[in-house]
Amino acid sequence: MTIPALIPSQIQGFLDRHEISEQPTLYEFPDVLQHNLDLIDDIPMQVYVAHKPTKSQEMIRAAHHEGYGVDVSSLGELQNAENADIPPEEIEATGPKNTLFIDELLQRNILISVDSLAELRYIADQDVHASVQLRVANPTEEIGGTTKFGIKKDQLVDAKAIVEDSKARVEGFHYHGDGLTARLRANVVSSFLSLIENHFPRATKINVGGGFRAQRLRNPTDWSKHIQSVVEGLKQGSNETWSQTPYGLHVTQDNTVQGREKAMLPGTEKTLRSQLTAFLEEDVRPRTTVADIIHDTDISIIIEPGHALLHNTAIASLPVEHTKETPNGPLTVVNAHTFMLSAHMSPSRATPRLTPRGEEDTYETFIGGLLCRNDDVFTTRPVTLHRQPRRGDNLVFFNQGAYASYEQGTPQLHHRINTEVVHES
Amino acid sequence: MKANNTAELVGDTPLVKIDGSTHGLDGVRLWAKMELLNPYGSVKDRIGKTMYWDQRHGIDADTVIESSSGNTAKALTALTEDKHGFKTVTNRIKLDTVRDILTVLGADIDEVPGSNECPDPTNPDNPNEIIRDMVRANPETYYHTNQYFTDDNPSAHEGTGEEILRELPGVDVIVGDLGTAGTTKGIGRHIRQEQDNPASIHGVFTDAAGYVPGGRNRNELFETGLFDKDFYDEIHEASTQDAIDGMLDLIRKEGILCGPTTGLVYAAITDYLSDQETDGVDVVFIACDRMEPYIGYLKDNRPSLFTASKQEESLPEPAYITYGDIKPSMVQVDTRVQFAYQRNPYPNSINIPLKTLESLLEQGPPFSQDETVVLLCPEGVKTRFATQKLRSYDVEAYSVENGMNPYREEWDD
């Protein structure tokens, strides 16, 4: 079946008006990021755009151009942000850090989210003024059970003692949880308000991190229809996918389908703005919403969206080599490999677009690359194209802006994808 | 005219010409496509027909389900009466009258908390997610018509486009509101396909601060799968008050008893055309639904229209006092939430959070008329209404000019 992507107008316009390269190419659209940021410009929160999902300096520059700060989690990201002319006061640093990274941050007096007591002790030992947020591993009972990040809540007493004997100042608290609901995020705020109330009265920042979801599909119900179809197939003893356990679903001995599909992350059909608006409306105290705290107090709420802002900012165009028959069905082979595409949510990739348009027909096919690996298949389901691809065609994959191809671990082993920055507006 | 059922009456709505003295535009023939004359009262009757009625014999499920807070629910309830039940799962019914109408029609209304209708699998109260789960769990029970995404929605309006072309070959501009975006998309698609000199297709949304029932604002539009910005030649924005002005013009000057969405579209297109070079152009706007369900909306948003609301309209003007003129003898009320007050109270103040104060004011003045009351808040804006209300009780009350934030250094310890 066809599961079309939600395509930003800038990218649609580019595809309508331009020839695309004959080489594997990642097209990046900073204008789309600026548009995404425009959509949240009246949300009363402090936004640091997460650098981690992108290595593109153009994207970071675009975010800064819109007036947003940047969240860096490595020395390389810090250097990239500086090369994009972002001043230290508009940068914050999060994640585990080595001493070299900490030294550079302290030198610039960049706001540091402290990930461990060891980091905090090191900062204290440098005897310089430092602005820190304490990253809390388990701010509430219901979240933070298994995480390698942050300081355990019951160790905050130790953290307080370390800070009191140093020139560091606790600006606030930080928690990053992937895909938190608005309610759970508000619970984090509530927990941090109690910490501020009872232990750190001068703290004024509550950082609820990123982990927001990105809209990807034009019609969200397409995915559930596909899953329904897979389940029905499994019940009938057939499996249309490339995987023995499609999306985590499997047939048991009594012929029932078990498991819960894991390909589509929860929340991936909701705008970032909607997620933030819902969060603002949640209560953190009786008759007190997150929005009330922002309006009525000196406490600011910080967020670090990355993937939700970036995922639709790039596309990857991959040239077709040929089609072939396999025991699983037709396979379209492209002059590319799986590491050229964003791995993020790869099992539920939207249907790529075959260009040029050409004659109208339908052709169901898996799509694979040239690596000598059986898992070099780009969609674990057959996708429906409007005709059979042939050499000279391109397949355009959407949602390639976050954790894009050059993020992958072994690119040095394989040929790289070209990158082109497009300004459409 | 005879009909076998009301479904047969859907469509073939007339075009009504708006008098030039009403719209005041030179060289423009402005037409209202009277979708409000459909049998169940709105443009949504058409999609009820394509999404359900035309397919009803192939639907095995017992109940048709949709996320709708108004016209689509109304149409589907009426159309499903003889064969299937209808259930709407929504959090957008903001008007009691609309809820009452759906109840009378016999809709099974499942109202969930929250304000956002866009799909969010992480939120158990989200209407679309609830529907998705219900259909997934009980495919034999529920059939989801899916108005925000199905092509049956715009397809229904290709017929509307055909009707317009039949009456106005060579139409120049089509304009409608952007709710699901299905109406304008379907009409536009047909006209672009059939007319050599294609009409310009315009859409209208509500400004970010406003609320017009059935409409969307710029940001919410990205939540509907049918909206494609590039489809439109022009997209306009108008406010709640523009919508009401437009609605009243059409009701009082033309006898078109339309709702605020029609007013929104009318206001936006007349404003746009007033700056354009026009000479003999035919412009069609979609008059999408009727006035009656929106009386409560008008009372909330234009209380001066109603006798009972004259008192509110005649509330005293808000009064402001500068920070430096506040005297210790005045009752100073910190209207921020309790957490803010406990963290750092405004000096010499008592704490009555604004939500609490406004509730108290419904019962009467919580202060003596002998007292001078100053309502303190960060920006001096949120307390405006409470100040007016206190003054209506003859309490000398003030908001602080520019609020307390500019004087933070003086009170913040």
pLDDT for the residue numbered B210: 65
Q: Peptide bond preceding B119: is omega within 30 degrees of 0, i.e. cis? A: no
pLDDT band at A53 (very low <50, low <70, confident <90, very high): very high
ipTM of the complex: 0.85
The domain B6-41+157-300 having CATH identifier 1.10.760.10: the answer here is: no
pLDDT given for residue B88 in this prediction: 82
Token pair, residue B200, equals 């310009």
B174-201 average pLDDT score: 90
Q: Residues of B with CB below 8 A from A292's CB? A: 336-337, 340
Give whichever of A30-44, A144-158, B30-44, B202-216 has the largest mean pLDDT.
B30-44
pTM of the model: 0.66
Instruction: Please determine whether the domains at B6-41+157-300 and B320-411 fall in the same fold group of CATH.
Output: no
CB–CB contact B228 A213 (8 Å): no
Residues of B in contact with A271 (CB under 8 A): 118, 219, 222-223
Give the 3-state secondary structure of B250-291: HHHHHCCCECHHHHHHHHHHHHHHCCCCCCCEEEEEEECEEC
- The whole-chain average pLDDT of chain A stands at 91
- How many Å lie between the alpha carbon of B118 and the closest alpha carbon of chain A? 6
**Chain B positions in Cβ-Cβ contact with residue A270 (cut-off 8 Å):** 116, 118-120, 223
How confident is the prediction for chain B on average, in pLDDT?
86
Residue A75 has pLDDT above 90, yes or no: yes
Q: What per-residue confidence (pLDDT) applies to B225?
A: 67
Q: What percentage of chain A has pLDDT greater than the value 90? A: 65
Q: What is the CATH number of domain A312-421?
A: 2.40.37.10
Q: Could you say which residues from 207 to 246 on chain B have a Cβ atom under 8 Å away from some Cβ of chain A?
A: 208, 219-220, 222-223, 225, 228-230
Assigned fold of B53-144: Rossmann fold (3.40.50)
- B343–chain A Cβ distance below 8 A for any pair: yes
pLDDT of amino acid B363? 87
Least-confidence region, from A20-29, A131-140, B303-312: B303-312
Q: Which of B136, B222, B378 sits opposite A271 (nearest CB)?
A: B222
Spatial contact of B366 and B360, defined as CB atoms under 8 Å apart: yes
3-state SS string over B51-119?
Answer: HCHHHHHHCCCCEEEECCCCHHHHHHHHHHCCCCEEEEEECCCCCHHHHHHHHHHCCEEEECCCCCCCC
Confidence of residue B221 (pLDDT cuts 50, 70, 90): low
pLDDT at B94 over 70: no
Band of pLDDT at residue A219, cut at 50, 70 and 90: confident
What's the confidence (pLDDT) of residue B224?
59
Q: Domain spans of chain B?
A: 6-41+157-300, 53-144, 320-411
Is A224 part of the contact surface with chain B (CB cutoff 8 Å)?
yes
Per residue in B367-403, is it b (16+ CB within 10 Å) or e — as a string?
beeeebbbbbbbebebbbbbbbbbbbeebbbbbbeeb
Confirm or reject contact between B276 and chain A (CB < 8 A). Answer: no
Domain ranges of chain A: 31-213+268-310, 221-258, 312-421
Dihedral sign for Cα atoms in the order A268, A269, A272, A277: negative
* Pairs of residues, one from chain A and one from chain B, whose beta carbons lie less than 8 Å apart: 118
Rounded to a whole number of angstroms, the CA Rg of chain B reads 25
Query: Is residue A45 over pLDDT 90?
Result: yes
Q: Which of A37-46, A371-380, A398-407, B304-313 has the lowest mean pLDDT?
A: B304-313
Q: What is the pLDDT of residue A351?
A: 94
Mean pLDDT of B15-34: 94
**Pair of tokens at residue B253:** 């000057």
**pLDDT-derived band of residue B209, with 50, 70 and 90 as boundaries?**
low
CA distance B214 to B211: 9
- Output the pLDDT for position B215: 73
CB A23 within 8 A of CB A8: no
CA distance B353 to chain A (A): 9
For range B165-175, the mean pLDDT: 93
pLDDT band at A196 (very low <50, low <70, confident <90, very high): very high
Mean pLDDT of B178-203: 89
* Per-residue confidence (pLDDT) for residue A306, from 0 to 100: 95
Q: What does the pLDDT look like over A251-271, one tens digit per residue?
A: 887 778 888 777 777 767 788
Q: Do B116 and A42 touch (CB under 8 A)?
A: no
How many angstroms separate the CA atoms of B295 and B21, rounded? Answer: 26
In chain B, % helix, strand, coil (3-state, to 5) comes to: 45, 20, 40
Asked if B123 lies within 8 A of A179 by C-beta distance, the reply is no
Smallest CA–CA distance from B231 into chain A, residue: A9
Tell me which CATH code domain A31-213+268-310 carries: 3.20.20.10
Nearest to A277 among B116, B343, B379 (CB): B116
Chain B residues within 8 A of A215 when measuring between CB atoms? 222
Asked if A346 has any chain B CB less than 8 Å from its own CB, the reply is no
The mean pLDDT value for A200-221 works out to 90
Spell out the CATH class of B320-411.
Answer: alpha beta
* pLDDT of the residue at B44: 95
Question: Tell me, what's the pLDDT at B121?
Answer: 41
